[in-house]
Structure formats: C-alpha cells, structure tokens
Amino acid sequence: MTPSLHLSTAAFDYECPPELIAQRPNRDRTASRLLHLDRTSGAVVHRHFTDLIELLDSGDVLVINTSRVINARLRGVRQNGAPAEVLLVHPDTDDKWIAMVHPGGKLKVGRTVRFEDVAELEITGVIGGGLRQLRLTGLDWKELMDRYGAVPLPPYIERSPEREDRDRYQTVYAREDGSIAAPTAGLHFTDDLLDRVERHGVHVVNIVLHVGPGTFKPVGVDDPAEHIMHAEWYTVPADTADAVNAAHEGGRRVWAVGTTVARVLETAGRDGTLRPAEGWTKLFIYPPYDFHMVDGLITNFHLPRSTLLMLVAAFAGIDNVLAAYRCAVVERYRMYSYGDAMMVV
C-alpha cells in the first residue's frame, strides 16, 4: 500500500457520546436518517434514508453485499466445567473451522469445548492472531449454530442478542451464509424500497464479502500502513462485473452500499475494469487512495480509528468526514451498526 504520509492513526479519532450508540434497530428499517455529504465541497444536508431514490439517477448501478450473518457466537464449557466462548470466523479445510476462543490461554491444542452432551469442539491448531483451528463431533456445523449459536452483535451493543436480532441484524437481501458481522449499510433497505429503486431505473447487482472479525478491530499502530488486515472471502459474479463496466463506459455512476462492497470492487477492479473473481482480500483502503470503481458510497457511521472510517476518509477526505461526523453528533444521529446512514456523492 501507499505510505500514509502525514496522516497518523490519531488523525482518525473523534468523540462519540455513548448515548448516541444505537442499542436497538429502528422499528422501521427505512426510518433512518441520511447524512448527505458532498465530497467536493464538504457540504452536508440532513435527509431521510428514503430520499436516496431522488439522489440516484436512472442508469446508475447500486451494488449490494448479499452475505448472510451466521449464528457464530457459541457458549459451551471446558473439560473442567468452566465456561468457554467460541466465535466462528470461517470454514477451513477438511470440514474444520477457524475461530476465536476465550479464554485463549486455556484453550490450547487438544483441549475441548462441549455443548451439553450433544457436541464437542476440539482445538486442533493455533493459527496466530488469536485464531484457532477447530474440529467438530456430534453435530454438523449448521446444526451446532442453529442449536447453540447466537447472533454475534458488535461489542458496543451492550446487551445480549435477542430473537429480534436474528432478523434485524441481517439485510433483507442476505443469501450466502458466512459473515460474523452485518454489512450494516444495507440494513436500511426493505424489499419495497429496493423495488422502488429499480423502478427508478437503477440497476441493482450484488457481490459477496463475508465480513470477518477485523471489522471491529481498531488500528493499534501509529502509522496505518503498518496495520495488518484480516483476510475476507469475496465473490464478484460475471453479471455484476458487466453491469459495473457498462455503467462506467456509459458515464453512469456506481454506488457501493457499504465499505464491504467498496473493498470488493476495488480489489477486483484495480486496473479500472471489474472482472469476475473470487478469493481472499486483505485490501486496506486509507488516505491517500485513488478509487477506480466507486463513484458514490452509502455507509453507516463508524468507530474512531477503525479501518472502515479510514476507507470513508479516503473516499471523501478526512477533513470532510470528521466535520460531517461532528455535525452528526450535534444533530444527535444514531451511531454505528443499528444507527443512521451517510451518503457520500
């Protein structure tokens, strides 16, 4: 990556009052507010999420992430009866999974975590970065998650997952199991709103990026260039690549619904042409960065010092973004996963 020049990690800090962190979703998905930021002028307009229809042009392409959140958080017991927690991250070879475990110091190779007398996870390898390789006996992985798993709500939601979260911490268009965090920019859409967007002449296409634990990991080094991203699996279908390329050739805009979509488009289209692809991406976008694929960004508000905030700052300019965030705090926007949205044009 290009060195971050004068921008240290501290440059991406801001104050967010804890009471603005949304602990529950709006009753109506589309009831969210929409902070509209012009990245050229820095001008901010306060809107509602449904206003985005009038901000999109016929012929534009809207790209969504159809990854589905799995019930990845598991609570069981160790061999001595003490509690243990497992956060499944992604499948590995030979029907094993990679996971984060707690307490990490106690769960070494050969140790197990049991779920009643029904299933058992065995630690078969230490991967590094706090990750373990696990083997399951007694159930298959889907049965384990269905029976014992919970929605992995982010740590700033200070309550236990509830039945409502299985639906609301999921986009209405989620299809492919694999994420341990929602692509939250998509949480504001309903089927009806997407239908209206398409009737407006906007072409809606999809990619997949299975969101991993790195989405909540703050950048802990002074220079963002030294931060190591977790790899995440992505897929770009051929029809999506065709639609994006045709839009650019015709002078139309391509909108990324979320930072996950932006990273996939930039990963698979670094030379200015989007190609069908699948694989692992560790692309870390931070200022300065020259976007090749994304013309507009729909996103939520993000944690200070996070890679997600850095991506938005790379797209809209750090001064514009921090000024917009300060404005959102003054205007009492709801923040983070279950919070309000932002549209950068």
CATH dotted code for 73-150: 2.40.10.240
pLDDT value at 129 more than 90: no
pTM over 0.75: yes
> If pLDDT is split at 50, 70 and 90, which confidence band does 2 have?
very low
How far CA 57 is from CA of 65, 188, 200, 272, in Å, comes to: 21, 19, 8, 22
Would you list the DSSP string of 79-103? TTS-EEEEEEEEE-STT-EEEEEES
Structure tokens given for 331: 């205007």
* pLDDT recorded at residue 1: 39
Report the C-alpha gap between 236 and 234 in whole angstroms. 7
Structure tokens given for 232: 């995440």
Determine the 3-state secondary structure of 168 from DSSP. Answer: helix
Report the C-alpha gap between 85 and 101 in whole angstroms. 6
* Cβ contact 185:52 at 8 Å: no
How far CA 214 is from CA of 81, 154, 220, 227, 258, in Å, comes to: 30, 11, 12, 11, 15
* pLDDT recorded at residue 128: 80
pLDDT in tens, 69-92: 999 999 999 999 999 999 999 999
- Specify the pairing of strand 119-128 against strand 112-115: antiparallel
In the numeric block, the tokens 């994420």 are attached to: 179
Report the C-alpha gap between 100 and 133 in whole angstroms. 9
Count CB atoms within 10 A of the CB of residue 158: 9
CATH dotted code for 9-69+165-344: 3.40.1780.10
Instruction: Indicate the domain borders of the chain.
Output: 9-69+165-344, 73-150
Averaged pLDDT, 108-124: 96
pLDDT in tens, 216-250: 778 999 999 999 898 999 999 999 999 999 999 99
- Beta bridge partners, 206, equal 64
Cβ partners under 8 Å of residue 216, min gap 6: 154, 155, 181, 303, 306
pLDDT in tens, 35-45: 999 999 999 99
